[in-house]
Chain A
Amino acid sequence: MRRRRSRAKGMMERYTSDGGLTLTSMMDILTTLLFFVLKSYVSGGEVTVPPPGVTLPRSTVNADMHTSVVVAIDHDGIMMDGERVATVQEATATDELMIAPLAKRLTEARAQMDELAQRKGEKQETARLATIQGDAGIEFRVLQKVMYTLDRNGFPDIALAVLKKA
């Protein structure tokens, strides 16, 4: 009788758990996920997210972005550093290639950059870089006018932002 009771006790011990969670497998999953997320981060170049409403065109190019003045163009307007400076309608209303409000903002930005460079004791650059984040569906005439305005206001080096094709 006593032996049977001890055998039953042994079986109970074998088949019952203490009720605690098995965290090791979950930790493995989470650690793998953590490394994956860290690896997905852009490790080089400038990290930029196109403004809402702008779907960048896709390209096979592989050059990284650099810090620069950003001009975004969507179907309605032209934005500089996140602020709307002109509408596409205004830009295309005339045959004039220069977009006056954008030119004004670019001149101001350039003056600010020159002043900063002067305060830092750096040499003033003659040609500065600007990045165009244009929506894939915009018309070429808008792009051409923006490029012309950038060139005439001290930004002849232009980078066209695109999404890398898979």
Chain B
Amino acid sequence: MRRRAQRKELKVNTDLKLMPLMNIIIALIPMLLLSAVFLEVKVIETSLPRDADAAAAAAAEPATPPLDLAVHVRGDVYVIEGHGVSTLLVPRRGVASAPDSVATSLLSQALRGITASHPGTTEVRIVAESRTHYQEVIALMDVARGAGLVNAALEGAGDPGAPGAAPAAAGGM
């Protein structure tokens, strides 16, 4: 009788106590969800040409004239031109926030053709109008990068001779 009573006393509840853990997790999840950043912000790294670079470029005379490839944004057309490259026109939707899929495909095809025929070319100028949307400029940089032109320079179309209107930025992306 006494032994049975002792056995009853020694009985231990082995169930895990999950409630405190649940409380912690329930408090932790909303806190993490509130502070989490789900937007992936990336950057296109660019650097503006320095005076020393310009002087060095002027001093070094290339054996062959540079390609000087440029994509101009003009009204309802994109113009691709460069030395030794026949001028290509790609239709553009008037005031567009970005080139449409057809224009993107045509631009990509044209730029790929040029890089294939001029191996080693990585530079392109994107000459935008003053009212061109920023998204369109970024989209053109993407198209150029996709074609292997990783160094895209931005330039304003209005005043090519003005200080600072020369390549606004040369981006190594």
Contacts and interface: CB of A to CB of B under 8 A. Distances in A.
A61 B142 contact: yes
Contacts of B33: 37
Contacts, number: 163
Q: Which of B25, B132, B134, B164 has the most chain A CB atoms closer than 10 A to its own CB?
A: B134
A159 B168 contact: no
B55 interface: no
A11 interface: no
Given A58-B138, A97-B164, A161-B42, 9 more contacts: A37-B29, A40-B36, A63-B43, A137-B135, A144-B156, A157-B47, A158-B169, A159-B43, A164-B42
B141 interface: yes
B145 A57 contact: no
B124 to A, nearest CB: 15
Contacts of B40: 42, 163-164
Contacts of B129: 140
A37 B32 contact: yes
A21 to B, nearest CB: 9
A25 B26 CA distance: 14
A31 interface: yes
Contacts of A33: 29
Contacts of A163: 39-42
A134 B9 CA distance: 72
Contacts of A156: 47-48, 50
Interface in B1-48: 18-19, 21-22, 25-26, 28-29, 32-33, 36-48
Interface of B: 18-19, 21-22, 25-26, 28-29, 32-33, 36-48, 50, 97, 128-135, 137-139, 141-142, 145-146, 154, 156, 162-165, 168-169, 171, 173
B68 to A, nearest CB: 20
A164 B18 CA distance: 40
A60 B46 CA distance: 15
Interface of A: 23-24, 26-27, 30-31, 33-34, 37-38, 40-42, 47-50, 56-66, 97, 127, 131, 134-141, 143-144, 147-148, 151-152, 156-164
B-side interface mostly = mixed
- The 10 tightest CB contacts between A and B, nearest first, are A141-B130, A159-B43, A136-B135, A148-B164, A164-B40, A57-B135, A57-B138, A151-B48, A140-B128, A140-B132
B148 to A, nearest CB: 14
A34 B142 contact: no
Nearest to A164: B40
B132 A31 contact: no
A44 B12 CA distance: 48
A63 B41 contact: no
Contact of A59 (B39, B42, B128, B165): B42
A31 B50 contact: no
B37 A41 contact: yes
Contact of B44 (A23, A37, A59, A141): A59
A97 B163 contact: yes
Contact of A37 (B18, B36, B47, B48): B36
A151 B164 contact: yes
Given A61-B142, A140-B128, A34 B28 contact: yes
